[in-house]
Amino acid sequence: MSKLLVSDLDLKGKKVLIRVDFNVPIVADQITDDNRIKAALPTIEYVINEGGKAILFSHLGRVKTAEDKENNSLYIVKTRLAELLNKDVIFVPETRGKLLETEINHLQNGDVLLVENTRFEDVDGKKESKNDQELGKYWASLGDLFVNDAFGTAHRSHASNVGIASNIGSCAAGFLLAKEIDFIGGAISNPKRPLVAVLGGAKVSDKISVIENLLKLADQIIIGGGMAYTFLKALGHDVGGSLVELDKCDLALELLKQGKDKIVLPIDFAFTKEFKDLEPAHYGTIDTIKEGEMSLDIGPKSIAHFTKILKEAKTIIWNGPMGVFEFEHYNLGTKGILKALAENKEAITIIGGGDSASAAINFGYQDAFSHISTGGGASLEYLEGKKLPGIECVSEK
């Protein structure tokens, strides 16, 4: 990577501002998935082991009104972070002011301080989310160095990433951000070929730009999930009650034309009459669909066909489930693709964030791939070929 990395910095005795992504799901005052906190540990531990003073910034949820503050305090994360680091974490329930400045000035080498949710600054005029100049300058004034390790917000230009970076003078990537740049950036800029993309999920409309960009880069694009039915409808098939975006059929046809032999569609399906987790009525080609049926998953022949293509790949990017993977009877396609990816030990395998990442982890494939991205929206925009502000603001070496 040509970008400055946290390990390139002289950290000893320095106040190191670190933008992490602690935007974890919380249900009934419990963190239900702490993967994002765990993923930030290597950078935090490196900074404190090198004698730096770690000052952590993160957002949590959406904060629009003063009432939203009550349910979105980062205090809950402080407790889990302290357990994982096995050391005290100083929490400041403010995003600016005397208390924050005093606590920072009292830090010893190796201490960790967590600042309250950066989005508390959004209540008065969206200062964080609109990258308010004064706020970025103020936060930058609190430290000596800045490390960005939040890939989940890399597609946004906020005061706590771009704002701090542009005011402090330089920005290094943390280990997590660097891994995202190496894997996703590497796959789209200089892939080992064949590069095969597997795209699924609900809608074509969410992934048009990804398909368009990958058509230029990938050797093959496998399309499954709800998206596939818009392509099949565009080709003139009756898809019954399956998910279809009628207004996207022309576009699907255009993409098929552009893609020529690159786009691979499923060849069989799991049909049912109801959107319920019941045994499929039957499997078959799209033309075997009966009155009142819909398809909620790809079938075994598609899994075998896709597996054969994936076996030959040297780089695989997967984003979006092949079916309604939340239903036990319709997760076979998604599981089949995960298995095919895990079995190709030669290939670089990259799982896009969001649903695909949680499916991979929940189905037991946590350690089976080269990289599981921590950013849903950010990984999609990266695959679209967009420049992400949170990566652009990282200095070159």
Q: Which one is catalytic: 96, 203, 301, 314?
A: 203
225 is a contact residue toward ligand AMP (CB under 6 A): yes
How many other CB atoms are found less than 10 A from the CB of residue 379?
Answer: 31
204 is a contact residue toward ligand AMP (CB under 6 A): no
Q: Which of 230, 222, 221, 275 is nearest to 250 (CA)?
A: 230
Residues 286-305 that bind ligand AMP (CB under 6 A): 295-296
377 flagged as catalytic:
yes
How far is residue 47 CA from its own chain's centroid?
24
Query: What residues have CB less than 8 Å from 304, skipping those under 6 apart?
Result: none
* 195, 317 Cβ separation under 8 angstroms: yes
Binding residue count for ligand AMP, defined by CB under 6 A: 17
| Member of 326, 328, 346, 392 binding ligand AMP (CB under 6 A) | 326
Residue 225: CB minimum distance to ligand AMP, A:
4
Q: Which is nearer to ligand AMP, 175 or 330 (CB)?
A: 330
Residue 282: CB minimum distance to ligand AMP, A:
15
Part of the chain binding ligand AMP (CB under 6 A), chosen from 100-108, 257-265, 317-325, 379-387: 317-325
| Member of 136, 174, 191, 321 binding ligand AMP (CB under 6 A) | 321
- Lookup: tokens for 61: 């949820």
| Member of 52, 323, 375, 390 binding ligand AMP (CB under 6 A) | 323
3-state SS record for 48-112:
HHCCCEEEEECCCCCCCCHHHHHHCCCHHHHHHHHHHHCCCCEEECCCCCHHHHHHHHCCCCCCE
239 is a contact residue toward ligand AMP (CB under 6 A): no
Nearest-angstrom CA–CA distance, 128 and 308? 47
Catalytic residue IDs: 36, 203, 354, 377
- Under the rule (CB under 6 A), what is the footprint of ligand AMP? 201-203, 206, 225-226, 243, 295-296, 320-321, 323-326, 354-355
